[in-house]
């Protein structure tokens, strides 16, 4: 009986334990199914579904004719999953030799035996991400996918390709600093067009929901939370690649010749303010020159003698001097308080007219004129400079513009020396672009244009936003003052400090500049050495300015530092090459063609209309083209026709046409038209043959 009771007791205990375990299991199931259902369900989804950001393609930056300045190209980092779950031993053994030989052929770096050895070792280690190569192009990736083992795909062949977009500059360093870049690190650097137009270029990233299938493959799923990526917009700039190349080559050669630290060159279209070329070069550790900093728009320095133009224009505008007035420069030096101002000619120039003071760049003459007429009320002088907008930033489309500095009487650092020093370009600071903008305004008959770098934002080939030419001020001075300023600048080249720029083909007007470079507390001298900044700024052709240009060379160190020799020669090389282009020759021919007056000047335009007029005037004319739009040429008593090309996407040549014909042709080509003046079209911008986009503005200048 005792044994039986013991067995019953033990059985009861066992059944009780089993019952407790069953109750615990049931309770856990209830907790998992009811209480923790949300938690485990979301964890399950996490491993079955995955949300991935899909990066948008960054927009392109284009030159004025549509050629690429900056673009994003996909590059790939190639890994191998040597323990891919789908890779069979047969696939490995049959394919490793062919794979190794293919890697040697496509990637180099090591022999086929070397590739086989490192991949085999990686497989023994069980590497899931064995690095093959970084920055592989898409074309190379396509070839890699054809190799043994890799052609089986990611899960059977172990090929893993991680894509990344890399920004490239197809034209190497041309305009590189102005094109700019983004550094999205801690500092968040935004430079040039890339930085200033990042919101347009960046686009919007998308969201893709992926599902993992049995075996580890991931597929995209159609999910309400998926968002399609929107690629970035394209930016159309004012840069002319060919002109940029000319300017860059000319500046680099001169920097090397004079062993200078850095320099910049800017070419601006007079009528619009469009920047056609902008070069910034600095000596690198390799002995060559590179685009590392945008000196043209960011570096404010004392300009030296190029500031004599606004100084003398202020006095001309106030009526206190005239170009024929005489000032005695003496023996080449003058003392103001404790400061002696000297001319470069040691014995001095003696008596000079105001025009000669400017042409010969007399520091003595300029400082004496300004001090004499404004010493009792220096505010009048500075107010006049302010009225010409020289104290204001240009507010250009790019970030990083340097601050102009023109002190005002009463400022902390204003002194009795300020007037004579400011008059010839010291105690003031301006960037090269700010100086050029002022000179461009003189070339443009007083109208100051805001420098323009970008003309449009495009999406899928359509313009979605335009930036029109922008006038800062309609006139910086009276017509009379502008006329005298132009004449003085022509004198600089004709018989002043820049006679080396004089040539028989076209006239240049401008101003040389040679300024000592301040070295902080040590002043203008560092030890026994003085550093200089050489510059030349002007425009051409002087009679009908098309382009303005500034060249600045900082710290030439081979013993030559004068603006006419160091900077002026770069200006001349650029202007000569522009002059040698087909456009410039066509322009000169249209302006200066010698005609036999026995046949009337017919002008260019619509062929049927010209036929009718010439027939009624009983003028012989040769119908040697079937083109509706023609250019005419007179020879003896006969007018001949030549067809005007109207190629889609290229601006037609409307020079010599009436306004009606020009507007009709341009608008039917998809462009909008702005014009000024009366008569026939004398100039057009952009020039004929330029690649332009529908809806953009073509500016016409008319003349009787």
DSSP string across 529-586: EE-EEEEEEEEESSSS--EEEEEEEE---SS---HHHHTHHHHHHHHHHHHTSHHHHH
pLDDT at res. 274: 96
Tokens 């009861």 belong to residue: 12
130-134, 153-157, 239-243, 383-387 — which one is most confidently predicted on average? 383-387
The fraction of the chain above a pLDDT of 90, given in percent, is: 48
pLDDT in the model for residue 419: 97
Helices (H), 363-502: 363-374, 378-387, 418-423, 432-443, 479-495
Residue 548: name the closest of 397, 656, 651, 432 by CA. Answer: 432
Q: What is the pLDDT of residue 483?
A: 97
The answer to whether residues 566 and 657 belong to one domain is no
Sign of CA dihedral 370, 374, 379, 385: negative
Q: CA–CA separation, 139 vs 184, rounded Å?
A: 28
Is there a single domain that holds both residue 229 and residue 245? Answer: no
Q: Are strands 620-622 and 638-643 parallel, antiparallel or unpaired?
A: parallel
Task: Classify burial at 19, counting beta carbons within 10 Å of its beta carbon; exposed 0-12, middle 13-18, buried 19 or more.
Answer: exposed
- pLDDT confidence tier of residue 287, bands split at 50, 70 and 90: confident
**What pLDDT is stored for residue 170 in this prediction?**
84
- What pLDDT digit, counting tens, does each position of 578-592 carry? 887 744 544 454 444
Residue 14 lies in a domain: no
Q: How far is it, in rounded angstroms, from Cα 87 to Cα 108?
A: 25
Sequence-ordered alpha helix ranges (H) in 289-362? 295-298, 308-318, 354-359
Q: What local confidence, expressed as pLDDT, does residue 335 receive?
A: 94
Asked if residue 571 and residue 534 are part of one domain, the reply reads: yes
Residue 35 lies in a domain: no
Please tell me what DSSP assigns to residue 452: B
Contacts of residue 574, defined as CB under 8 A and 6 or more positions apart, other chains included, come to 243, 246, 247, 250, 265, 267, 277, 549, 551
Domain count of the fold of the chain: 3
337 phi and psi angles, rounded to 5 deg: 55, -115
User: 576 with 600, same domain?
Assistant: no
Chosen domain end from 547, 580, 613 = 580
13 burial class (0-12, 13-18, 19+ CB within 10 angstroms)?
exposed
Query: Using an 8 Å Cβ cutoff, are 532 and 547 in contact?
Result: no
DSSP code at position 34: I
How far is it between the farthest Cα atoms of the chain?
A: 151
pLDDT given for residue 571 in this prediction:
95
In a domain, 405, yes or no: yes
Q: Which domain holds residue 524?
A: 241-580
Same domain, 418 and 494: yes
**pLDDT (tens digit per residue) in 82-117:** 888 788 888 888 989 999 999 999 998 889 999 999
pLDDT at 272: 95
Structure tokens at 451: 């420098």
Question: Is residue 487 a part of any domain in this protein?
Answer: yes
Predicted confidence band at 560 (pLDDT cuts at 50, 70, 90)? Answer: confident
Going by pLDDT thresholds of 50, 70 and 90, the confidence category of residue 370 is very high
Q: Sheet holding 672-676: strands in order across?
A: 672-676, 697-703, 680-685
Residue 351: CB partners within 8 Å, gap ≥ 6? 326, 327, 328, 329
Query: Running DSSP on this structure, what letter comes out for residue 444?
Result: T
**Considering only CA atoms, which of 554, 563, 60, 533 is closest in space to residue 303?**
533
pLDDT of residue 525: 55
| 587: in domain | no
Q: Among 11-20, 78-87, 385-394, 434-443, which stretch is predicted with the lowest mean pLDDT?
A: 11-20
Of 528, 545, 580, which one is at a domain's C-terminal end? 580
CATH of the domain at 687: 3.30.10.20
Q: Backbone phi, then psi, for 697, in 5-degree steps?
A: -95, 135
From CA 554, how far away is CA 255, in angstroms rounded?
9
What does the pLDDT read at residue 333?
Answer: 94
Question: Is residue 401 domain-shared with residue 536, that is, in the same domain?
Answer: yes
Q: Is the dihedral of CA 503, 506, 511, 515 positive or negative?
A: negative
CATH number at residue 562: 3.40.710.10
Give the whole-angstrom CA distance, residue 548 versus residue 295: 18
pLDDT at 257 over 80: yes
| Bridge partner list, 79 | 131, 160
Quote the DSSP letter at residue 644: P
Q: Is residue 5 part of a domain?
A: no
DSSP string across 46-114: HHHEEEEEEPPPPPPEE-TTS-EEEEEEEEEEEEE-TT-TT--HHHHHHHHHHHHHHHHHHH-SS-HHH
CA distance 644 to 314: 47
Q: Residue length, the chain?
A: 704
Q: Output the pLDDT for position 600.
A: 45
- Does residue 45 belong to any structural domain of this protein? no
CB 209, CB 197: distance < 8 Å: no
Structure tokens at 263: 């320099």
Decide: 268 and 276 in contact? Cβ < 8 Å. yes
Higher per-residue confidence, 688 vs 623: 688
> pLDDT category, 217, cuts 50, 70, 90?
low
- Residue 8's pLDDT is what? 67
* Least confident range of 18-32, 547-561, 600-614: 600-614
- pTM: predicted TM-score of the whole model, two decimal places: 0.73
Are 93 and 144 in the same domain? yes
Lowest mean pLDDT among 57-61, 90-94, 442-446, 694-698: 694-698
Res. 221 pLDDT band, cuts 50 70 90: low
- Helix/strand/coil for 173: coil
Say whether both 224 and 256 belong to one domain. no
Q: Cα Rg for the chain, rounded, in angstroms?
A: 37
**At residue 273, does pLDDT exceed 90?**
yes
Q: Do 573 and 654 fall within a single domain?
A: no
- Are 254 and 282 in a shared domain? yes
- Burial class of residue 267, CB neighbours in 10 A (0-12, 13-18, 19+): buried
**Residue bearing tokens 């003349």:** 703
Does one domain contain both 77 and 134?
Answer: yes
Q: Supply the mean pLDDT for the chain.
A: 84
The answer on 475 and 432 residing in a single domain is: yes
- The pLDDT value recorded for residue 515 is 83
E strand or H helix that includes residue 597: none
Per-residue pLDDT of 119-135, as tens digits, reads 999 888 888 889 999 88
Query: How crowded is residue 12: how many other Cβ atoms within 10 Å of its Cβ?
Result: 10
What is the Cα–Cα distance from 513 to 326, expressed in whole angstroms? 23
For 342, the token pair is 């000297």
Confirm whether 30 is domain-assigned.
no
Among 58-67, 377-386, 647-656, the range scoring the smallest mean pLDDT is 647-656
Distance (Å, rounded) from C-alpha 81 to C-alpha 99?
Answer: 14
CA 439/CA 446 separation, integer angstroms: 9
Cα torsion at 403, 405, 409, 414 (round to 10°)?
Answer: 120
The residue-averaged pLDDT of 401-427 equals 95
Please return the burial class of 304, using the count of CB atoms within 10 Å of its CB with bins 0-12, 13-18 and 19+: buried
Q: Which of 548, 580, 612 is the last residue of a domain?
A: 580
CA distance 396 to 668: 32
Q: Is the per-residue pLDDT at 644 higher than 70?
A: no
């Amino acid at each position: 009986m005792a044994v039986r009771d013991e067995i019953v007791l033990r059985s009861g205990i066992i059944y009780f334990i089993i019952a407790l375990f069953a109750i615990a299991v049931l309770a856990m199931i209830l907790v998992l199914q009811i209480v923790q259902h949300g938690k485990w369900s979301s964890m399950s989804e996490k491993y079955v579904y995955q949300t991935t950001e899909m990066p948008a393609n960054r927009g392109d930056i284009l030159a004025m004719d549509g050629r690429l300045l900056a673009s994003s190209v996909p590059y790939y980092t190639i890994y191998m999953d040597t323990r891919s779950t789908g890779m069979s031993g047969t696939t490995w053994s049959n394919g490793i030799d062919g794979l190794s030989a293919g890697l040697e052929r496509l990637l180099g770096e090591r022999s086929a035996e070397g590739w086989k050895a490192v991949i085999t070792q990686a497989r023994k280690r069980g590497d899931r991400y064995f690095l093959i190569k970084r920055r592989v192009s898409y074309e190379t990736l396509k070839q890699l996918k054809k190799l043994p083992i890799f052609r089986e795909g990611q899960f059977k062949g172990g090929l893993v390709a991680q894509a990344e977009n890399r920004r490239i500059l197809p034209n190497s360093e041309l305009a590189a600093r102005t094109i700019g870049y983004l550094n999205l690190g801690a500092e968040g650097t935004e430079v040039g067009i890339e930085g200033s137009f990042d919101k347009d270029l960046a686009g919007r990233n998308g969201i893709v929901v992926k599902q993992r299938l049995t075996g580890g493959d991931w597929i995209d799923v159609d999910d309400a939370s998926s968002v399609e990526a929107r690629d970035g917009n394209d930016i159309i700039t004012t840069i002319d690649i060919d002109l940029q190349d000319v300017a860059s080559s000319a500046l680099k050669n001169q920097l090397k010749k004079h062993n200078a630290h850095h320099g910049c060159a800017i070419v601006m279209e007079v009528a619009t303010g469009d920047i056609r070329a902008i070069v910034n070069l600095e000596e690198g550790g390799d002995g060559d020159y590179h685009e590392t900093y945008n000196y043209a728009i960011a570096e404010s320095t004392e300009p030296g003698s190029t500031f004599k133009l606004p100084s003398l224009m202020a006095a001309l505008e106030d009526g206190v001097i005239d170009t024929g007035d005489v000032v005695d420069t003496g023996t080449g030096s003058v003392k103001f308080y404790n400061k002696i101002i000297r001319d470069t000619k040691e014995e001095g120039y003696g008596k000079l007219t105001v025009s000669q003071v400017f042409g010969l760049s007399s520091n003595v003459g300029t400082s004496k004129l300004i001090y004499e007429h404004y010493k009792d009320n220096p505010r009048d002088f500075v107010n006049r400079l302010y009225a010409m907008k020289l104290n204001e930033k240009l507010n250009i489309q790019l970030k990083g513009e340097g601050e102009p500095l023109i002190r005002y009487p009463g400022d902390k650092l204003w002194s009795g020396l300020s007037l004579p020093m400011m008059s010839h370009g010291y105690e003031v600071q301006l960037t090269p672009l700010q100086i050029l903008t002022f000179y461009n305004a003189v070339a443009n008959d007083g109208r100051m244009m805001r420098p323009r770098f970008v003309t449009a934002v495009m999406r899928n080939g359509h313009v979605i936003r335009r930036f029109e030419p922008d006038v800062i001020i309609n006139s910086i001075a009276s017509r009379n003052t502008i006329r005298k300023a132009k004449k003085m600048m022509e004198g600089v080249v004709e018989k002043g400090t820049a006679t080396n720029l004089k040539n028989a083909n076209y006239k240049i007007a401008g101003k040389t500049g040679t300024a000592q470079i301040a070295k902080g507390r040590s002043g203008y001298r560092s030890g026994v050495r003085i550093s200089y900044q050489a510059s030349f700024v002007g425009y051409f052709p002087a009679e009908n300015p098309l382009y303005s240009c500034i060249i600045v060379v900082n710290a030439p160190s081979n013993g030559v530092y004068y603006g006419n020799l160091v900077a002026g020669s770069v200006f001349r090389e650029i202007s000569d090459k522009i002059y040698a282009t087909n456009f410039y020759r066509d322009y000169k021919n249209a302006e200066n063609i010698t005609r036999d007056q026995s046949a009337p000047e017919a002008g260019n335009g619509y062929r049927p209309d010209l036929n009718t007029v010439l027939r009624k005037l009983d003028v012989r004319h040769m119908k040697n083209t079937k083109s509706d739009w023609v250019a005419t040429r007179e020879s003896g008593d006969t007018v001949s026709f030549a067809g005007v090309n109207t190629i889609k996407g290229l601006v037609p040549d409307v020079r010599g046409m009436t306004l009606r014909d020009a507007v009709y042709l341009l608008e039917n080509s998809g462009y909008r038209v702005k014009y000024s003046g009366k008569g026939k079209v004398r100039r057009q911008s952009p020039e004929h043959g330029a690649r332009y986009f529908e809806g953009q503005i073509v500016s016409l200048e008319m003349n009787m």
